Amino acid sequence: MEGARAMTLNVDHLAKQFSKNGQETVESLIDINLEVKDEEFVCILGPSGCGKTTLLRIVAGLEHPTSGTVKIDTTLIDRPNQKLGMIFQDYSLYPWRTVNENIAFGLELHDVPKEKRDSIVKKYITLAGLSEFGNSYPHELSGGMRQRVAVVRALAVEPTVLLMDEPFGALDAQTRNMLQNELLDIWQKTKKTILFVTHSVDEAVFLADRIVVLTPRPGRVCEIIHIDQVRPRDRTSVEFAKVRRHVLDLINQKCSLQ
């Protein structure tokens, strides 16, 4: 990870159609173009059903586009790739494994020797602030704690890009805010590129360098907004409210039209 290798994630003319009952085709995404630069924090914002989760899954290599490509630098992404880590909304922790064992999962898959594994796990569990819970099971943890484990589990195999699908959607407002701050913290420490899907304007404005606003189905890129505000951003500031207003207007007007 050293060196000035600036990675670029490119989404080119991506489209996705589903066939319903084998006859009708439903268009989910139309002509998505996106360039994500190294260490960027990009949010994909849109109403339910606009295809943002589908877009993320295609970027992750879990689904195939009907047309168009996803590339990291020159590598075509058509199947899951270790450079792209993913965090699901339901955390998807393995309930039969302890926290330590969950974090170690990816390392086990690649036969990383035990000693090295243990030290990596220790590093990341500390990053998550959960050092005392190494031997606990996911069902013994709160929602927020589980999500932290999910994040560091993905980080343990050192992906370049983190894909996050509404990861804080199931949490209460307080925990969500706390985790948003922690995420920014981890992002700044680990210098990952993050592609973050959400339907919450507040969340997007708080977290992102850029916000990609999608139209309702079929999802198109309506607008891409740059947010220059310095972090940590103050949710109560006038600046913040202005940006929020702007984004909301976009969603309600320009981006809700086909």
| Complex with another protein: residue 11 or 104, whichever CB lies closer | 104
Tell me which residue of 16, 13, 8, 9 sits closest to 69, measured CA to CA. Answer: 13
Beta bridge partners of 194: 41, 162
Give the separation between CA 254 and CA 148, rounded to whole angstroms.
Answer: 36
Nearer to another protein, 157 or 178 (CB): 157
240 part of the interface to another protein, by CB under 8 A: no
The single residue among 108, 172, 234, 239 that binds another protein, judged by CB under 8 A, is 108
Question: Element (H or E) spanning 68, and its range?
Answer: strand 67-72
> Is 96 an interacting residue with respect to another protein (CB under 8 A)?
yes
Q: How many chain residues are in contact with another protein, going by CB under 8 A?
A: 28
Report if residue 75 touches another protein, rule: CB under 8 A.
Answer: no
Could you say whether residue 78 binds another protein (CB under 8 A)? no
In the chain, what's the furthest Cα-to-Cα distance?
56
**Nearest CB to another protein, comparing residues 94 and 248:** 94
Question: For another protein, which is the closer residue by CB, 181 or 190?
Answer: 190
Strands 67-72 and 41-45: unpaired
Beta strands in the chain (DSSP E): 8-20, 24-37, 41-45, 67-72, 75-76, 84-87, 161-165, 193-198, 210-214, 221-226
Contact between 169 and another protein (CB under 8 A)?
no
Give residues in contact with another protein (CB under 8 A): 60-62, 79-82, 84-86, 88, 90, 92, 94-97, 105-106, 108-110, 137-139, 153-154, 157
